Amino acid sequence: MSTDALRRLTATEFTLFLRDKVGPIFGVLFPTALLCVFGNIDFFTDPANGIDGQPLLHTYTPILVGFVIAMLALNTLPPTLASYREQGVLRRLRTTPVGPARVLGAQFAICLATAVVSVILLLAVARLAFDVPLPRQPFAFALSALLAALALIGIAVLVAAVTPTAKAANAIGSVLFYVMMFFAGLWLPIQAMPAVLRHVSEATPLGAAVQALSDAGAGHWPPAWRLLLLAGYVVVTALLGIRLFRWE
């Protein structure tokens, strides 16, 4: 298979991703807009209301990074993959030299690349407009974000694998999005949760991810178990996804 075909396939999928608008609007613009709203509310910027002596906005920045990842993975991938299967797009590709697996690869690459752009935008606006410091341990931050993105892509593939239609995939994807965002602390930061709820949250993929991002943001490496937990989610969802996903 030529590299030209791979490039063309990825470029085409990216064009469709932009045309669809859901990813660019809800995965890139919306999280940063949310940051700007929070940043203009005194409650979020006054250290007196904060956790561990820092303004709430600092606590919310990694939560919004989780929001970006979850939004892109859970709200764009499942409906796209399920509709490709439902409409026979993948089946049609099976009769060509390229095959359908590469479309999935292109989708993952687009999801990851868009997440990188969106997170950089978010961190830059947080830093420049609202004085939120950049992650003090950038490597740990990047690694945590990458593991989180891979784990959520794995979950997205599982959703697409077990749902028969694009509609169902869309519905389940967005319910999961809200559930995961709850455990990631969107409504109540994990640090402020009661102990039991906090333990549960830290065991969920996005909860673990946000905690790892907070650790890295504050300048220290997340505990090894947290990263291993995320890596475990990546491995398990990838294996299950490969087993369960059907091309038609």
Partner 1 sequence: MTTVIEVQELHKRYGDTVAVADVSFRVDEGEIFGILGSNGAGKTTTVECVEGLRRADGGTIRVLGLDPVRDRAELTQQLGVQLQDAHLPEKLRVGEALDLYRSFYRTPADPAALMAALGLDEIRGTRFGKLSGGQQQRLSIALALIGNPRVAVLDELTTGLDPRARRETWRLIEDVRARGVTILLVTHFMDEAERLCDRVAVIEAGRVVAVDSPAALTKRAAAELGVERATLEDAFVALTGEHADVH
Binding site for partner 1 (CB under 8 A): 1-2, 4-5, 8-9, 12, 15-16, 19-20, 83-84, 87-89, 91-92, 94-99
Look at residue 54 and give its three-state secondary structure.
strand
Closer Cβ to partner 1, 106 or 209, answer by number: 106
**Residues 184 and 109 sit within 8 Å (Cβ to Cβ):** no
Residue 245 Cβ, how far from partner 1 at the closest point, in Å? 17
Helix, strand, coil abundance in the chain, percent, nearest 5: 80, 0, 20
Cα 104 from Cα 13, distance rounded (Å): 10
The count of other CB atoms within 10 Å of the CB of residue 53 is: 8
User: Smaller CB distance to partner 1: residue 7 or 136?
Assistant: 7
Cβ at position 78, least distance to partner 1 in Å:
15
Give min distance, CB of 44 to partner 1, in A: 38
Tell me whether residue 47 or residue 88 sits nearer to partner 1 (CB atom).
88
Give the dihedral sign, CA 124/212/146/67.
negative
- How far apart are CB 91 and partner 1 at their closest, in Å? 5
User: Which one, 19 or 243, has the nearer CB to partner 1?
Assistant: 19
User: Which residues make Cβ contacts (< 8 Å) with residue 126, sequence separation at least 6?
Assistant: 35, 39, 57, 61, 132
- CB nearer to partner 1: pick between 17 and 177: 17
> Closest distance between partner 1 and the C-beta of residue 88, in Å?
3
